[in-house]
Amino acid sequence: MVDIEESLARRLESLIPLPALLGRGPRFLVYEWRPGISLERAIAARADLPYEKIGRDLAEARQKLNTVHFPTAGFFASDLSIAHPWPSAIDGLWSYLRTLFPQANAPAELIRRMARIADDAEPRLHRAAGPPVLVHGDFKASNVLVDESGLTTILDWEFAHSGTWLSDVGQILRHLDQLPPEFVAAFADQMPFDQETMTLVRTLDLVNLVDFLRPERDQPKMHADVIRRITEVCDQYESQS
């Protein structure tokens, strides 16, 4: 994993805001310090920051990642070749989602509802996915550092892979009700994408949400929030189908 993150750091150092790689050890990398606090903390603290600019900056960074192409979707080897290819980005994610349904700690009717939506959304996701590009894989507010100047860096590339840009967008917009409206509007305008794409990216994020419902993740507060989020996604998809 350290080898993959080092390869990513060197490939992306002049493309998007990242801390400079200063050195490495057998199991760790050393990066320069970058200013800022996480977008998650900034929002929670109601920090007075330029959220519209942060939304544009983050969308621009995601667009630049769309220029890093790969021959197929899948997980990386240390040199960023594809060590474990998928038939397509959506096939890889949706096959995993379907393995999660039988073990998910959720009401049976909700699981059946998700399964129906997954079947219906699959061809639409294939059409929207685009070619395989670099995906951060944990593109959420806690991994985005910001300050008064805007976006300062994107952290934690542990789950990076070749896939669809829709995945990252679904993750950053997961807690849509908690994000500043000006951030969401600027991010969506800069990408850009329409309401149908908004529905699809949130639907694709079911992969991550259902993963939180594995039986070993026994955290009641998180479980209740995830069930609520999944219900919102299902409601949104069905209202626009």
* End-to-end Cα separation, the chain, in angstroms: 40
The pLDDT, as a whole number, for residue 185 is 96
Report the number of distinct structural domains present in the chain.
Answer: 1
- Res 192: pLDDT: 84
Domain assignment present for residue 52? The answer is: yes
Task: Please report whether residue 5 resides in a domain.
Answer: no
Residue 47 domain flag: yes
pLDDT digits (tens, 9 = 90+) for 26-72: 889 999 999 999 999 999 999 999 999 999 999 999 999 999 999 99
Q: What is the pLDDT of residue 182?
A: 98
Determine, yes or no, domain membership for 14: no
Residue 200 lies in a domain: yes
Q: Assess if residue 17 is contained within a domain.
A: no
The band of 146, judged by pLDDT with boundaries at 50, 70 and 90, is very high
Which backbone phi and psi does 150 adopt, to 5 degrees? 120, -145
**CATH number of the domain enclosing 92:** 3.90.1200.10
Domain span holding position 46: 38-75+86-239
So what's the pLDDT on residue 220? 85
Q: Write down the H helix ranges in 66-102.
A: 89-100
pLDDT at 217 over 90: no
pLDDT in tens, 167-203: 999 999 999 999 999 999 999 999 988 999 999 999 9
Beta-carbon contacts of 129 under 8 Å, excluding residues fewer than 6 positions away, are 88, 89, 90, 164, 166
